[in-house]
Amino acid sequence: MEDVFKKIVSHCKEYGFVFPSSDIYDGLGAVYDYGQNGVELKNNIKQYWWQSMVLLHENIVGIDAAIFMHPTTWKASGHVDAFNDPLIDNRDSKKRYRADVLIEDQLAKYDEKIQKEIDKAAKRFGDSFDEAQFRATNARVLENQQKRDALHERFSKALNDNNLEELRQIILDEEIVCPISGTRNWTEVRQFNLMFKTEVGSTAEGASTIYLRPETAQGIFVNYLNVQKTGRMKLPFGIAQIGKAFRNEIVARQFIFRMREFEQMEMQFFVKPGTELEWFSKWKQTRMAWHQALGFGAENYRFHDHDKLAHYANAATDIEFHMPFGFKEVEGIHSRTNFDLSQHAKYSGKKIEYFDPETNESYTPFVIETSIGVDRMFLSVMCHAYTEEQLPNGESRVVLRLPAALAPVKLAVFPLTKKDGLPEKAQEIIKDLRFHFNCKYEEKDQIGKRYRRMDAIGCPYCVTVDQQTLEDNTVTLRDRDTMEQRRVAIADLRSIIEDKVSITSLLRRIE
Ligand code: ATP
C-alpha cells in the first residue's frame, strides 16, 4: 500500500495536480501548490460542497471572512491557551512525533492483528464462518482485543486529564519504537501551540501580534449577529464558509493529508438549545450521504466517535475514509454547545443572542459544526480514483476513475491527423461546447497515446474527428472507464455529456 501511495504522489506531480511549494528551491515542508489539473479538481470539490450546503438548504447561507482576525478572537475561542499538540522527540533519530499519534498507531496495530486472524479464519471456514462467534471465542483475538481495550482506556484517560507524563509512560510500556532509529530513547512529552504568529502595523511600537487563523469557524461565529440580522435568519440556520487555515503541524508527513497551509469547508448550524443532539445525528447522516454520493463504496467510510471531547463539546465524530495508509479522518462533525458564541459575548462585551418569536425568549444558540478539509478530500478522491489496469491486449494503463462531475477536463477533442481541415473541425466543436463544460484540444501523438494521457488525468470522454466527420458530422466518442467507442452526431454531444459531468448530477444523488 505504501508503494501505491508513492505512485499516487508522483502521479499528482507528473500530471499537473499537485507540486511541492516553491519546487525550484526544493520545496517547503508540508506546503503544496495545485497545478493546472489539480486546481480544477479542487474547485469542483469546493463547488460540490458549497452547492450541497447553500443551494440544497434554504436555511444555509455563505460568507467569506478575512484570514486575519482581531487577536482577542483567539483568546476567546481558547486557541491561545489550548490549541496544542503533545510532542515527543526521539533522541537518537532527532525526529519529532505527536505522542497521541504514536499511540493511535499502536491501537491500529492491535486492530490489524485481530483483522488478520479473522480474515484467515474466514478463508478457512468459507460460508459457514460466523465472525461474531469467532471474535468471542478465539484465544488470540481475545488476547489482542483485551490489550487494545486496556490501552484505549488508559490513553483516553491520559488525554482527558491532559496527563503528559502518562502519555510518555504509555509509549514506554507499549514498547513503541521510533520508526527511523528503531530505539525507545524518548524525551519528555511537551505541549506545542500550533498557531502561526505575525505582526500588523508598520512600526515596532505600534505593531500588534496577530495569528493566521487555524480554523475558519471563528470567522463564522464573530459574524453570527451580522448574518442573522441582515439575513433575517430564523433558527435553525447555518452559515457556510470555504477558506484557508494555517497550523504549524509538528509532524508533517503523508503529502497533502497534513499540511501547514490548507483549506477548510466549514458550516456552523445554529439551533435551539436542547435540540442539538437531534441535529448532530441529522448532520452525521447528511454528511455521510454527501460522501457516499461519489460512489466510492460504503465500505470505505466509517464514523469514529471521539474519545476525548473538548470540554465544551457534547458529541463529536469523524468521518474516516479508507486511504492507502489506513482509515483516516477526512471530516469532523462536532456538537459545540453555545461555547463559542458565549465566549465571544464575554470577551467582546456584546450581547450575542437569538430572540425566539415563538416562545418570546432570548437565548444563545447551540451549534453543530461540520468541518472538512478540501485537501484531505482531494487526497481521498485521488487515492480512490488511481487505478492501474491490465488490458485484454496485454497492455496496461493508469486511469483516474474520477467521478465525472469532479474531473478537471470533461471532454478531449482530437483530430485524427493534423491536416485536411480536421484540426479546424475539432476546434469548431470545442468552440461550441466550452460554454457548457471544460474541453481540451490535443493533436500531438497517435490517438492511443492521447487516450492514455486523458485517462491519466481522469477525462471521462474523448472524441475523435476523422474524414467521415467532414462528410456526415459524426465523431467517435470514447468512454474512459469502459473504453467503448461509438459513433455519435456532433449535435448530440452536449446532451450526452452535459448532465453526466455536471455537479447537479452529484447533488441529485445525495437526496
Ligand atoms: P487531526 O486530528 O488529523 O490533526 P483535527 O481533528 O485537528 O485533525 P479539525 O480541527 O477537526 O482536525 O479540522 C477539520 C478538518 O480539517 C479535518 O477533518 C481535516 O480534513 C482538515 N485538516 C485539519 N488539519 C489539517 C492539516 N494540517 N492539513 C490538511 N487538512 C487538515
**Cβ–ligand 1 contact at 247 (below 6 Å):** yes
**Cβ–ligand 1 contact at 369 (below 6 Å):** no
**Amino acid at site 48:** Y
**Å from CA of 151 to ligand 1 middle:** 24
pLDDT in tens, 51-86: 999 999 999 999 999 999 999 999 999 999 889 889
**Cβ–ligand 1 contact at 336 (below 6 Å):** no
Length of the chain: 511
**Å from CA of 202 to ligand 1 middle:** 33
Report how far residue 418's alpha carbon sits from residue 406's, in angstroms, rounded to the nearest whole number: 31
pLDDT at position 161 is 86
**Amino acid at site 454:** M
Query: Mind spelling out the 3-state secondary structure of 346-377?
Result: HHHCCCCCEEECCCCEEECCEEEEEEEEHHHH
pLDDT at position 203 is 63
270 lies in the same domain as 188: no
- 314 within some domain: yes
Report how far residue 421's alpha carbon sits from residue 404's, in angstroms, rounded to the nearest whole number: 30
Please state, rounded to an integer, the average pLDDT across all residues of the chain.
95
Q: Which three cell numbers stand for residue 189?
A: 512529552
**Cβ–ligand 1 contact at 258 (below 6 Å):** yes
- The number of the ligand 1 atom at minimal distance from the alpha carbon of 264 is 16
- 395 within some domain: no
Domain with 282 in it: 1-82+194-390
Report how far residue 179's alpha carbon sits from residue 198's, in angstroms, rounded to the nearest whole number: 34
pLDDT in tens, 310-342: 778 899 999 999 999 899 999 999 999 999 999
| Distance from the Cα of residue 351 to its chain's centroid | 35
Report how far residue 51's alpha carbon sits from residue 54's, in angstroms, rounded to the nearest whole number: 5
Positions in the chain short of pLDDT 50: none
pLDDT at position 208 is 84
Give the end-to-end CA distance of the chain in Å, rounded to a whole number.
34
Looking at 364, 390, 416, which one is the last position of a domain?
390
435 lies in the same domain as 496: yes
**Cβ–ligand 1 contact at 249 (below 6 Å):** yes
Task: Give the CATH number for residue 416.
Answer: 3.40.50.800
Task: Give the CATH number for residue 97.
Answer: 3.30.40.230
* DSSP result, 36-98: HHHHHHHHHHHHHHHIIIIIT-TTEEE----SB--THHHHHTTHHHH-EEEEEEBTTT--EEE
Long-range contacts of 305-313 (CB under 8 A, 24+ apart): 307/152, 307/155, 307/156, 307/159, 307/160, 308/156, 308/159, 308/160, 310/334, 310/336, 312/336, 312/337, 312/339, 312/340, 313/337, 313/339
**Å from CA of 142 to ligand 1 middle:** 33
Report how far residue 245's alpha carbon sits from residue 502's, in angstroms, rounded to the nearest whole number: 28
Number of domains in the chain: 3
> Of all protein residues, whose CA lies closest to atom 1 belonging to ligand 1?
329
**Cβ–ligand 1 contact at 328 (below 6 Å):** no
274-283: b (≥16 Cβ within 10 Å) or e: eebeebbeeb
- 235 within some domain: yes
pTM of the model as a whole: 0.89
Task: Give the CATH number for residue 290.
Answer: 3.30.930.10
376 lies in the same domain as 426: no
224 lies in the same domain as 330: yes
245 lies in the same domain as 355: yes
Looking at 168, 192, 216, which one is the last position of a domain?
192
